[in-house]
């Protein structure tokens, strides 16, 4: 019999701030973190805004010397891990270190470090490239730094599956606990892709909204006027533990991670399967593993990127799974932007918070219904509700689908 998985700590960083509670408060208030980009010149870009954390200061978590050797996504990961582990109360020492893992992914990794050091290479030559370029750039070093910081010696790796990365990291962490490969796993995902090259790439793909006159209103999932997604940055960490050991040490169990489904569309490198079949199977698999019926789910945190095709495909997939039992659905990307590899992790924390706090965050900027998106998207205003179970969807370029199902403990 597989082992149950408890969530005992969460931590988060995004454009709305640092800290899971503070971020959730702002989501419930319907606040947007989207603003005009000021970190670099965007005057020639068709999209000139994103959801970025202005004024980020890593000094509360990382000393100045270490911070210079870490890229932004790694700094975010350490800050969120500190918060999550402090809440969980999990102590890692010689007694359990080999049974505590770290699975933290990223879609893009240290893109800014790569861009900066490429400029150094071109302008000053190879001898001046930083020896820290590779560890700052590669995806696995968020997991590596967390492991080193806390002495976690168990399973350790970094999934990369574009916008499904965070959910894959959390789901695979739960699977490691279920099969007995670990007793606890620190897991999540992060991305900081709002860089000159990152923004240019997504602009070239025509994937982004171009509402430069209204950045805060640009991310509008499921609204008829949506014209593309909004880039964001950040991510989140969850501490997962084997249920009985968490109970035995007196941990405050925030929620149970009861179900995980992962599938592929096998359709297109960027577009979702139009019928949402891959997403449908991932949701169905998560329900089956959790041994829940669709009517048992109280809330769905949608992938909901605000793209014309994606929102329709997800709506069709939800209807195929839930039929007449579709619960409230909202997309918090309307406020946080799309965190790419960090999106699923942040939205997993949102689901845990919705269960604990008894409130469902809204989809803001919902003004004109789309006939092809005809669900209850919790438009513009948060809603009090007792959430017994919450489903979180993440779907990535390449046809990757990953869904997580959380239950009230």
Please give the angle made by the CA atoms of 235, 391 and 173, to the nearest 5 degrees.
55
Burial class from Cβ neighbours inside 10 Å (0-12, 13-18, 19+) for residue 250 reads: exposed
C-alpha to C-alpha distance for 2 and 20, rounded to whole angstroms? 29
Instruction: Detail the DSSP E strand segments found in 88-144.
Output: 100-105
Q: What b/e sequence results for 377-407 when a residue is b if at least 16 CB atoms lie within 10 Å of its CB, and e otherwise?
A: bbbeebbeeebebbbbbbbbbbbbbbbbbbb
Does the active-site annotation cover 303? yes
Does the active-site annotation cover 163? yes
Catalytic pick from 14, 168, 203, 303? 303
C-alpha to C-alpha distance for 388 and 405, rounded to whole angstroms? 11
| Three-class secondary structure of residue 374 per DSSP | coil
Would you give the DSSP letter of residue 19? Answer: S
Catalytic pick from 187, 338, 373, 400? 338
Q: Where are the alpha helices (DSSP H) in 187-305?
A: 196-204, 243-248, 277-290
Measure CA 176 to chain center. 20
C-alpha to C-alpha distance for 256 and 164, rounded to whole angstroms? 20
Catalytic pick from 14, 163, 203, 351? 163
Does the active-site annotation cover 118? no
- Dihedrals phi, psi of 289, to nearest 5 degrees: -65, -35
For residues 85 and 186, the answer to whether their CB atoms sit within 8 Å is yes
State the angle between helix axes of 196-204 and 111-124 in degrees (0 to 180), rounded to the nearest 10: 110
For residues 69 and 136, the answer to whether their CB atoms sit within 8 Å is yes
Instruction: Detail the DSSP E strand segments found in 26-88.
Output: 35-36, 49-50
State the angle between helix axes of 20-28 and 343-357 in degrees (0 to 180), rounded to the nearest 10: 80
C-alpha to C-alpha distance for 148 and 100, rounded to whole angstroms? 12
- Residues involved in catalysis: 163, 303, 338
């Amino acid at each position: 019999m597989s082992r149950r998985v408890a969530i005992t700590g969460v931590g988060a960083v995004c454009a709305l701030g640092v800290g899971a509670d503070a971020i959730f408060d702002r989501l419930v208030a319907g606040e947007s973190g989207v603003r005009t980009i000021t970190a670099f010149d965007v005057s020639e870009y068709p999209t000139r805004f994103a959801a970025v954390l202005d004024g980020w200061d890593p000094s509360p978590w990382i000393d100045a010397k270490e911070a210079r050797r870490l890229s932004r996504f790694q700094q975010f990961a350490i800050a969120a891990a500190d918060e999550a582990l402090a809440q969980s109360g999990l102590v890692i020492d010689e007694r359990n270190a080999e049974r505590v893992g770290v699975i933290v992914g990223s879609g893009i990794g240290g893109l800014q470090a790569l861009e900066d050091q490429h400029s150094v290479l071109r302008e000053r030559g190879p001898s001046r490239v930083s020896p820290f370029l590779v560890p700052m750039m590669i995806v696995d070093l968020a997991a590596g730094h967390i492991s080193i910081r806390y002495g976690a010696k168990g399973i350790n790796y970094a999934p990369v599956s574009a916008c499904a990365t965070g959910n894959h990291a959390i789901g695979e962490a739960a699977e490691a606990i279920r099969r007995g490969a670990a007793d606890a796993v620190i897991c999540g995902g992060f991305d900081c892709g709002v860089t000159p090259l990152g923004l240019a790439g997504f602009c070239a793909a025509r994937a982004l909204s171009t509402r430069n006159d209204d950045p805060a209103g640009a991310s509008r999932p499921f609204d008829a006027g949506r014209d593309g997604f909004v880039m964001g940055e950040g991510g989140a960490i969850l501490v997962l533990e084997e249920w009985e050991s968490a109970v035995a040490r007196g941990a405050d169990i925030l929620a149970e991670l009861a179900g995980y489904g992962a599938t592929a569309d096998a359709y297109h490198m960027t577009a979702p399967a139009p019928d949402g079949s891959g997403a449908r199977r991932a949701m169905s698999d998560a329900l089956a593993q959790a041994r829940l019926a669709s009517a048992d789910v109280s809330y769905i945190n949608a992938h909901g990127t605000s793209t014309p095709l994606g929102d329709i495909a997800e709506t069709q997939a939800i209807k195929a799974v839930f039929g007449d039992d579709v619960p409230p659905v909202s997309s918090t990307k309307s406020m946080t932007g799309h965190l790419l590899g960090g999106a699923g992790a942040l939205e997993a924390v949102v689901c845990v918070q919705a269960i604990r706090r008894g409130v469902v965050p809204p989809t803001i900027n919902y003004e004109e219904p789309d006939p092809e998106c005809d669900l209850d998207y919790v438009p513009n205003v948060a809603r009090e509700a007792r959430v017994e179970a919450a489903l979180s969807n993440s779907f990535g370029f390449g046809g990757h689908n990953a869904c997580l199902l959380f239950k009230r403990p």
